[in-house]
């Protein structure tokens, strides 16, 4: 494995759905590329809402990305990419707690790692890998959405369909951003 002398840096961009996390991630990766740095984007392969090999926003922005079926694939997919450069990981909550190990490995390689995703699950509980990544982070950006009920600051992703699955892919119509007061956690 190639090594860099750069100290790793972890940036976490989190918040509910529709908060602009992917837009913020794309902006950071694009700025790094414009500055001449190697910047690689990676996303979970199960998130196939809009495209296979791109990270995309609800508003149509997109950036080419590697797609990993699970967190165990991340290091193999990246190879030497991101050594001393920048690695952006979108929709990190789909990878679960298993993403913490490859993120730490990338940091040890000297990479600047930018992780975006939802830090609260549909019940409002901490959503792995964010508890561990928020402790590890050098910079945390918490974005808010607009509550679909009252227009207040939304921190929750209200699931609009019945499912006990913690990971359930959805887009506009499947989830609503909700503030703390308007959030209705599932009863079960
Ligand atoms: Zn509200």
Residue 3 has pLDDT above 60, yes or no: no
Per-residue pLDDT of 71-119, as tens digits, reads: 999 999 988 776 678 999 999 999 999 999 999 999 999 999 999 999 9
Task: For domain 9-178, give the CATH number.
Answer: 3.40.50.300
Interatomic CA distance for residues 83 and 111, integer angstroms? 5
Q: How far is CA 158 from the centre of its chain?
A: 18
Q: How far is CA 9 from the centre of its chain?
A: 16
Q: Please report which confidence band the pLDDT of residue 133 belongs to, taking 50, 70 and 90 as the band edges.
A: very high
Q: Which residue among the candidates 11, 61, 91, 184 is catalytic per the annotation? A: 91
Mean pLDDT, the chain, rounded, equals: 89
Give the global pTM. 0.91
Cα four-point dihedral sign 78, 81, 84, 88: negative
**pLDDT of 164:** 77
Per-residue pLDDT of 136-154, as tens digits, reads: 999 999 999 999 999 999 9
What is the 180 CA–ligand 1 centroid distance (Å)?
Answer: 7
Please, which residues have CB within 8 angstroms of residue 74's CB and are 6 or more apart in sequence? 42, 68, 89, 95, 99, 102
Rg of the chain, C-alpha, whole Å: 16
Instruction: Yes or no: say if 158 and 178 are a contact pair by the CB < 8 Å rule.
Output: yes
For the chain, the domains span 9-178
What is the 59 CA–ligand 1 centroid distance (Å)?
Answer: 22
Per-residue pLDDT of 24-66, as tens digits, reads: 999 999 999 999 999 999 999 875 555 567 887 777 778 889 9
């Amino acid at each position: 494995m190639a090594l860099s002398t750069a100290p790793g840096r972890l940036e976490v961009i989190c918040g509910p759905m529709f908060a602009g996390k992917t837009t913020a991630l794309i902006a950071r990766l694009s700025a790094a590329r414009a500055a001449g740095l190697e910047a690689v984007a990676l996303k979970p392969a199960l998130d196939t809402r809009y495209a296979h090999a791109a990270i995309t926003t609800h508003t149509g922005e997109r950036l080419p990305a590697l797609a990993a079926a699970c967190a165990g694939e991340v290091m193999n997919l990246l190879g030497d990419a991101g050594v001393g450069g920048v690695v952006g990981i979108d929709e990190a909550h789909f990878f679960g707690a298993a993403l913490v190990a490859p993120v730490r490995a990338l940091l040890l390689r000297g990479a600047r790692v930018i992780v975006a995703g939802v830090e609260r699950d549909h019940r409002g509980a901490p959503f792995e890998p964010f508890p561990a990544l928020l402790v590890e982070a050098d910079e945390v950006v918490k974005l808010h959405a607009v509550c679909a009920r009252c227009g207040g600051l939304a921190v929750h992703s209200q699931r609009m369909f019945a499912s006990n699955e913690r990971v359930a892919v959805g887009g506009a119509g499947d989830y609503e951003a909700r503030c703390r007061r308007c959030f209705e956690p599932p009863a079960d």
